[in-house]
């Protein structure tokens, strides 16, 4: 399996995350990608290549241009105010407030942020741009004849909506890649999100559309981030009614229950008949992940990779979450090897 990877991910190296009332070292950190790359190479899964550059065009098919301008300018505006720490939002347009974009960077952060845990740091924009190029390069490989490819994206993307960042995400890599398939002639694309956390950004982007089916297996939002999206009754709207499926599950969910949800999602994908499948691959469903509560074992990842392969679709794996650093490489590669039948 071809892997696309960019060394520019290291430019995203924030030092602070708001967690449990403290500023801690971020769970989403550069070593995550390094562990995955190291294990990929150790099992010799396939070639690893650097991405091509695609510019902003494919990204603006998904994201609001003013939002992208904010991401590009955020760090410089923050520094210009004389702030010495990393940029973290402190206020939001809560219920009953005006949805107007402020001039001051503090207000801009709150307007565009969906959550307050993700610090914006120097190099974030460059890393996010490169992460999107990784996804687009892997998508291009499939468009050019490969049956599968792995986009080792970092930072991740599935929490980013058309004009919101948060949950460690800035550009929605999976959504950008899915749109690229559509723009290049695909009639239908399915996105299967297996990250522990609901892909709220991806859902919001495609919620009113019938050409992209979104399916997400995740921690029940009553108990898990992002809390305010991901319920089972969210089925799409307008033209998208009936093309959005959520499988929220509670604490201590094991592979028996999780696998049943996956089987159901795969049946829906098969009935949909997409031209391509995008997997938002988060491995934070692992039993020892520090910020989740599912109980999948390392062997389970190989098992569900094999299940996805039964769909026999051109498949793009896009890296999302996974924070048990010592095991993230093993679990990610297990999915890919299971898909390959190895």
88, two tokens? 């973290």
First to last CA, the chain: 11
Is 276 buried (19+), middle (13-18) or exposed (0-12) by CB count in 10 A? buried
Closest CA to 252 of 296, 215, 311: 296
Among 9, 39, 158, 159, the one annotated catalytic: 159
The half-sphere exposure of 230 on its side-chain side, counting CA atoms within 13 A, is: 29
CA distances to 35, 40, 203, 284 from 240, rounded to whole Å, are: 38, 37, 10, 28
Give catalytic status of residue 158 as yes or no: no
- Cβ atoms 118, 127 nearer than 8 A: no
Beta bridge partners of 330: none
Closest CA to 200 of 161, 250, 249, 258: 161
105 Cβ neighbours under 8 A, 6+ residues apart: 74, 77, 78, 80, 81, 87
> Within its chain, how far is the Cα of 5 from the centroid?
15
- Cβ atoms 173, 153 nearer than 8 A: yes
- Any idea which residues carry the catalytic annotation? 159
């Amino acid at each position: 399996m071809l892997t696309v990877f960019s060394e520019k991910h290291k430019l995203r190296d924030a030092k602070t995350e708001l967690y449990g009332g403290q500023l801690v070292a971020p769970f989403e950190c550069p070593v995550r990608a390094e562990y995955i790359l190291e294990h990929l190479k150790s099992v010799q899964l396939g070639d690893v290549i650097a991405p091509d550059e695609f510019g902003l065009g494919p990204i603006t098919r998904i994201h609001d241009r003013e939002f992208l301008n904010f991401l590009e300018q955020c760090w410089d505006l923050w520094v210009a105010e004389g702030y010495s720490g990393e940029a973290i939002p402190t206020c939001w347009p809560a219920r009953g407030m005006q949805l107007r974009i402020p001039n001051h960077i503090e207000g801009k952060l709150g307007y565009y942020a969906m959550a307050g845990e993700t610090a914006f740091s120097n190099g974030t924009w460059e890393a996010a741009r490169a992460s999107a190029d990784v996804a687009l390069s892997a998508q291009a490989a499939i468009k050019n004849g490969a049956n599968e490819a792995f986009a080792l994206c970092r930072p991740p993307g599935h929490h980013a909506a058309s004009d919101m960042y948060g949950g460690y995400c800035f550009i929605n890599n999976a959504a950008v890649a899915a749109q690229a398939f559509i723009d290049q002639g695909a009639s239908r694309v399915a996105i299967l999100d297996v990250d522990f956390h609901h892909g709220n950004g991806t859902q919001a982007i495609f919620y009113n559309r019938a050409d992209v089916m979104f399916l997400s297996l995740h921690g029940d939002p009553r108990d898990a981030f992002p809390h305010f999206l991901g319920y089972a009754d969210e089925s799409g709207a307008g033209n998208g009614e009936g093309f959005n499926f959520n499988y929220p599950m509670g604490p201590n969910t094991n592979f028996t229950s999780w696998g049943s949800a996956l089987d159901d999602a795969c049946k829906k994908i098969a009935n949909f008949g997409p031209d391509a499948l995008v997997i938002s691959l988060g491995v934070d469903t692992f039993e020892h992940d520090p910020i989740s509560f599912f109980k999948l074992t390392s062997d389970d990842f190989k098992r569900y990779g094999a299940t996805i392969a039964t769909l026999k679709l051109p498949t793009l794996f896009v890296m999302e979450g996974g924070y048990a650093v010592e095991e993230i490489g093993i679990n990610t590669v297990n999915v890919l090897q299971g898909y390959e039948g190895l």
